[in-house]
């Protein structure tokens, strides 16, 4: 079983915040791939479905960001899912808006949600880092992530979330590099270079 985790804060007050881009990604995956109705389990909201023939549990912790690990730890222990079977979608200050990177393990970069997870399941889980940009100074970080996306952000946000949902089956196959490559290809298809016979003669 694969455990997909979106990080964010529960409630309509936080729904459109940058900190909730992980929730947004998981919401679109379950919608696009026809997951079941939401249920309240493991201190979170869960939906079950499948990707690439693999059983998948999608989890949105309802504990608030700083305690996300409690919810994820419960689900992982119940289903005996190892860290490599857990994919976490989260906001990333150190990436430009709209950029995506996938990694396994590593540091926590001051992210309280990741810190909470590491305390419960260790650091070797898989991470899909979703760039929201940095406000320029550490004193402005909290206000930045707890602020809604602007209308201008929709130019990159909606295509990114759509591309993640389309490429998600590759995560179930364990092909993280392929997932990242497909997202990049969807967002920026290669330019078509006309063949000589396609070039009109003047």
Domains of the chain, first to last:
2-198 (3.40.50.1470)
Q: What Å distances lie between residue 110 and 92, 93, 113, 126, 145, CA to CA? A: 10, 10, 9, 17, 13
Mean pLDDT of 24-30: 97
135-164 pLDDT, tens digit per residue, is: 665 666 666 666 778 888 889 999 999 999
Write down the mean pLDDT value for the chain: 90
- Catalytic: which of 17, 19, 90, 111? 19
More confident residue, 93 or 177: 177
Does the model's pTM come out above 0.85? yes
Q: Supply the pLDDT for residue 120.
A: 95
Mean pLDDT of 121-128: 95
Mean pLDDT of 56-79: 96
Percent of the chain residues topping a pLDDT of 70? 88
Pseudo-torsion of CA 86, 70, 30, 27, nearest 10°?
-120
Question: Does residue 14 surpass a pLDDT of 80?
Answer: yes
Highest mean pLDDT among 50-59, 101-110, 187-196: 50-59
Residue 19 is a catalytic residue: yes
Residue/partner pairs of 74-80 with CB below 8 Å, 24 or more apart:
74/42, 74/43, 75/3, 75/41, 75/42, 75/44, 75/46, 76/3, 76/120, 76/121, 78/42, 79/1, 79/3
Question: Does residue 82 surpass a pLDDT of 90?
Answer: yes
């Amino acid at each position: 079983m694969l455990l997909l985790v979106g990080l964010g804060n529960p409630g309509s007050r936080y729904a459109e915040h940058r900190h909730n881009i992980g929730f947004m990604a998981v919401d679109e995956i379950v919608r696009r791939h026809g997951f079941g109705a939401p249920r309240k389990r493991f201190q979170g909201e869960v939906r079950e479905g499948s990707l690439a023939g693999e059983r998948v549990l999608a989890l949105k912790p309802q504990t608030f960001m700083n305690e996300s690990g409690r919810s994820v730890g419960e689900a992982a222990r119940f289903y005996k899912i190892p860290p490599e079977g857990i994919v976490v979608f989260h906001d990333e200050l150190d990436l430009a808006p709209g950029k995506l990177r996938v990694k396994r393990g590593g540091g926590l970069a001051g992210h309280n949600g990741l810190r909470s997870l590491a305390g419960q399941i260790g650091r070797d889980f898989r991470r899909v880092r979703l760039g929201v940009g940095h406000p320029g100074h550490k004193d402005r970080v909290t206000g930045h992530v707890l602020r809604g996306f602007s209308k201008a952000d929709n130019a990159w946000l909606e295509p990114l979330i759509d591309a993640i949902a389309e490429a998600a089956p590759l995560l179930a196959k364990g092909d993280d590099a392929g997932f990242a490559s497909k997202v990049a290809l969807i967002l920026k298809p290669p330019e078509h270079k006309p063949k000589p016979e396609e070039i009109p003669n003047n």
